[in-house]
Chain A
Amino acid sequence: MSALPWTIYVSLAGAALLLALGRASPGVARGLALATALAGAALGAAGAAGFTAQPGLQTLVDIPWVAGPGIRYHLAADGISLVLVLLTGLAATAGVLFSWNVRERAAEFFALYFLLIGGVYGVFLSADAFLLFVFYEIAIVPKYFLIANWGSTNREYGAMKLVLYSFAGSALVLAGLLWAHAAGGGQGFGLAELTRAASALPAAQQVPLFGLLFVGFGVLAGLFPFHTWAPTGHVAAPTGVSMLLAGVVMKLGAYGCLRVALPLCPAGFAAWQPLLGGLALAGILYAGFVALVQEDFKFVIGYSSVSHMGFVLLGLAAATPQALAGAVLQMFSHGVIAGLLFAVVGRMVYERVHTRRLDHLQALGLHRHLPFPALVFVIAALASMGMPGFSGFPAELSILIGTWRTAPLWALGAAAGVVIAAAFTLRVLQVSFFGPAEPAAPTEAHPPPALDPITWPERAGAALLLAATVYVGLKPDALLGWILPALHSPALQPILRGTTP
Chain B
Amino acid sequence: MTIDHSELLHAFRPEACLVAGALLVLGLDLATGRGRTAERRARNAALLGLLALAAALAATFAAAPSGPLAAGTMLLDPLARVTRAGVLGLALLALAATPGTLRLPHAAEYVALLLFATAGFTLMAGTTSLLLGFVALELASIALYLLAGFDKSRPESAEAALKYFLFGAVAAAFLLFGFSLLYGLTGALDLPGIARGLAAQPVSPLLLVAVVMVLVGFGFKAAAAPFHLWAPDVYQGAPAPAAALIASAAKLAGLAFFLRLLGSGLTAPAADGPPAPWTGAVAVLAVLSLVVGNLAALGQGNVRRLLAYSAVAHAGALLLGVLVSGRAGPGPVVYYAVTYGLATVGAFLVLAVLDGQGGAQAHADLAGLHRRSPLLAGALAACLLSLAGIPPLAGFLGKFLVFAEALKAGGPASLPGAIALLAIALSAVALYYYLIVLKEALVRAPAPGAPVIRVPAGAALSLIATVALLLALGLVPDLLLRRF
Give the B-binding residues of A (Cβ under 8 A): 66-69, 108, 130, 133-134, 137-138, 140-141, 144-145, 148-149, 156, 160, 163-164, 167-168, 171, 174-175, 178-179, 181-183, 185-186
Alpha-carbon separation in the docked complex, A137 to B385 (Å): 11
Q: Which of the segments B133-141, B307-315, B356-364, B425-433 contacts the partner chain?
A: B425-433
Among B400, B401, B421, B428, contact of A164 (Cβ-Cβ < 8 Å): B428
List 8 A–B pairs whose Cβ atoms lie within 8 Å, in order of A's numbering.
Answer: A67-B482, A69-B401, A134-B396, A156-B443, A160-B432, A174-B424, A178-B403, A178-B420
CB distance from B376 to the nearest CB of A (A): 15
Of B403, B428, B435, the residue contacting A168 (CB under 8 A) is B428
C-alpha spacing A185/B385, complex, angstroms: 30
Chain B residues lying within 8 Å of A69, measured Cβ to Cβ, are: 401, 404
- Determine if B390 and A141 form an interchain contact, defined as CB atoms under 8 angstroms apart: yes
- B442 in contact (CB, < 8 A): yes
B392 proximal to A (CB < 8 A): yes
- In the bound assembly, the distance between CA atoms of A171 and B401 in angstroms comes to 15
Q: Is the CB of A66 within 8 A of B481?
A: yes
On whether the beta carbons of B411 and A182 are closer than 8 Å, the reply is yes
- Would you list which residues of chain B between 423 and 471 have a CB under 8 Å from chain A? 424-425, 427-428, 431-432, 435, 438-439, 442-443
Q: 20 new A-B pairs (CB below 8 Å) besides A149-B443, A171-B428, A182-B411?
A: A66-B397, A68-B331, A68-B401, A69-B401, A138-B391, A140-B390, A145-B438, A149-B442, A163-B435, A167-B427, A171-B424, A175-B412, A175-B420, A175-B425, A178-B420, A179-B407, A179-B411, A181-B407, A182-B407, A185-B408
| Contact indicator B404/A148 (Cβ below 8 Å) | no
Closest Cβ of chain A to B270, distance in Å, is 22
Is there an interface contact between B427 and A171, defined as CB atoms closer than 8 Å?
Answer: yes
Chain B residue at smallest Cβ distance from A64: B478
B417 part of interface (Cβ distance < 8 Å)? yes
CB proximity of B380 to chain A, nearest CB, Å: 13
Measured CB to CB, the nearest residue on chain B to A135 is: B391
Q: Which residues of B contact A137 (CB under 8 A)?
A: 390-391, 396
Bound-state CA distance A295–B272 (Å) is 65
Interface residues of B (CB under 8 A from A): 331-332, 370, 385, 390-392, 396-397, 400-401, 403-404, 407-408, 411-412, 417, 420-421, 424-425, 427-428, 431-432, 435, 438-439, 442-443, 477-478, 481-482
Q: Which residues of A contact B391 (CB under 8 A)?
A: 133-134, 137-138
Residues of A close to B424: CB separation below 8 A: 171, 174-175, 178
Q: Which of A68, A163, A174 has the most CB of B within 10 A?
A: A68
User: Is there an interface contact between A182 and B439, defined as CB atoms closer than 8 Å?
Assistant: no
**CB proximity of A119 to chain B, nearest CB, Å:** 10
Write out the residue numbers on chain A whose beta carbons fall within 8 Å of the beta carbon of B478: 66-68
A122→B356 CA distance, assembly (Å): 42
**Chain B residues within an 8 Å CB radius of A182:** 404, 407-408, 411-412, 417
Contacts of B442 in A (CB 8 A): 145, 149
Please measure, in the bound complex, the distance between the C-alpha atom of A148 and the C-alpha atom of B443, giving whole angstroms: 7
Least distance between A241 CB and chain B CB atoms (Å): 14
Chain B: CB-nearest residue to A131: B391
Q: A66-B481, A148-B439, A175-B421 are in contact. Are A167 and B411 (CB under 8 A)?
A: no
The 8 closest A-B CB pairs, nearest first, are: A182-B407, A134-B391, A168-B428, A182-B408, A148-B443, A178-B407, A175-B424, A186-B408
- Distance A137 CA – B388 CA, assembled complex (angstroms): 12
Q: How far is the CA of A185 from the CA of B392 in the complex (A)?
A: 25
A185 to B407, CA, bound (A): 10
Q: In chain B, what residue has the closest Cβ to A183? A: B411
CA distance A140 to B385 in the complex (A): 12
